Amino acid sequence: MIQRDIAYRVRAIESLSPTLKRIVLESATGDPLPVGAAGAHIALTLKCGDRILRNSYSLIAPSDGTGRYELIVRRTDPSRGGSHFVHDELTVGAVLAGYVPHNLFPSFSHARKHLLIGGGVGITPLLAHLAALRREGARVELHQLAAAEEVALFTQLLAPWAGDDVQVHGGREGLDLEALLSRQPLGTHVYVCGPAALMDRVEGMAVALGWPDGRIHRESFGASGGEPFTVRLARSGGEVRVGPDESMLQALENAGVAAPSLCRGGACGECLTRVLEGEPEHRDHYLTAEEKASGQFVMPCVSRAHSDMLVLDL
Ligand code: FES
């Protein structure tokens, strides 16, 4: 049977700044942790008061036999509760339920060069990629965009790989994206993680400059926003409003609905849910084109709705 659930113990917590904490996890049972390749994330179950949240966090270092996973969590305001729990209540020794790592953001070994672009805490999976690619001797360049007050912090995090091809851009200095993408050799793959606006900008600019789709990669787990809509639960009779900045899955979990999930990125099929009425907006990589066209199924971890209301078999 494929292992999916893991009990993690918090081995260390380090305050990097007033809003960023580095968390080190180990197995709570003593069993070895599965490999967590660069780009992978884990989902953790967090008890916030009387609510249960499942949040996904990228591993900041490849974990192949180290027996631990490292994350960085930013305290956000407003928060669904998860980041405040991690910052205010989580202590060393605490045990958290979670899932095994999933990798929806891998690097491509055939790339001639890897261009990594991060924004804020979106640097987390790129730190793992940078470490792995440098270890492999691959050609890699990283640009991190940061608020002026966080330039020093990100520069310090990137210090082990310091050089001309690792740069932090802060405050008003910005980054000439068009020039950066234009000067890359043919065969380069670009990987971006950060605020949706940054990922949209990088993707849009790369497409406009003629980069093939298969060479543009963005981190895709977690909430991806859109127009709000309402989910009606056919079996229980309830209704859940999905806000513009949360996923359907998050809204269901916040409302106490026991919705299944695993990868939380539209890849594994675990959250497959039957649609009884309404028009889904498919954003997953799991359903076939025919299944999407039928409108009979939706993956709530990433997909949304074109209609104001979706009636689900939940
Ligand atoms: S949880 Fe994996 S596809 Fe939704």
Which atom of ligand 1 lies at the shortest distance from residue 302's CA? 4
Centroid of ligand 1 to alpha carbon of 260 (angstroms): 8
Residue nearest to atom 3 of ligand 1 (CA): 266
Q: For the ranges 4-8, 237-241, 264-268, 275-279, which has the lowest average pLDDT?
A: 264-268
Residue 252 is part of a domain; what is its CATH number?
A: 3.10.20.30
- The pLDDT of residue 223 is 53
Mean of pLDDT values over 284-299:
92
Helix (H) or strand (E) segment spanning residue 124: helix 123-136
The answer on 282 and 185 residing in a single domain is no
Best residue for ligand 1 mutational test, from 285, 301, 304, 314 (most atoms within 8 Å of Cβ): 301
pLDDT for 162-187, tens place per residue?
999 999 999 666 789 999 999 999 99
* Predicted TM-score (pTM) of this structure: 0.84
**Rounded to the nearest 5°, which phi and psi values hold at 134?**
-65, -40
Residue 89 is part of a domain; what is its CATH number?
A: 2.40.30.10
How is residue 45 written in tokens? 């179950």
Give the number of C-alpha atoms closer than 13 A to the C-alpha of residue 44, restricted to the C-beta side. 28
Which of the two residues, 89 and 53, has the higher pLDDT score? 89
Domain end point (choices 198, 219, 240) = 219
- The pLDDT of residue 58 is 94
Domain end point (choices 54, 81, 103) = 103
Q: What residue numbers bound the domain in which 194 lies?
A: 113-219
Task: Give CA angle at 286 (96, 131), nearest 5°.
Answer: 55
Which atom of ligand 1 lies at the shortest distance from residue 301's CA? 4
Q: Is the pLDDT of residue 281 over 80?
A: yes
Q: Is residue 44 part of a domain?
A: yes
Cβ(131)–Cβ(68) below 8 Å = no
Which atom of ligand 1 lies at the shortest distance from residue 300's CA? 4
- The pLDDT of residue 267 is 81
Provide the residue type at 299 as one letter.
Answer: M
Which atom of ligand 1 lies at the shortest distance from residue 271's CA? 4
Nearest to 277 by CA among 295, 299, 292, 252: 295
Torsion of CA 271, 274, 280, 284, to 10 degrees: 30
Centroid of ligand 1 to alpha carbon of 221 (angstroms): 9
Residues β-bridged to residue 193: 118
Residues with CB under 6 A from ligand 1: 261-264, 266-271, 284, 286, 299, 301
The answer on 90 and 16 residing in a single domain is yes
The answer on 121 and 210 residing in a single domain is yes
Residue 136 is part of a domain; what is its CATH number?
A: 3.40.50.80
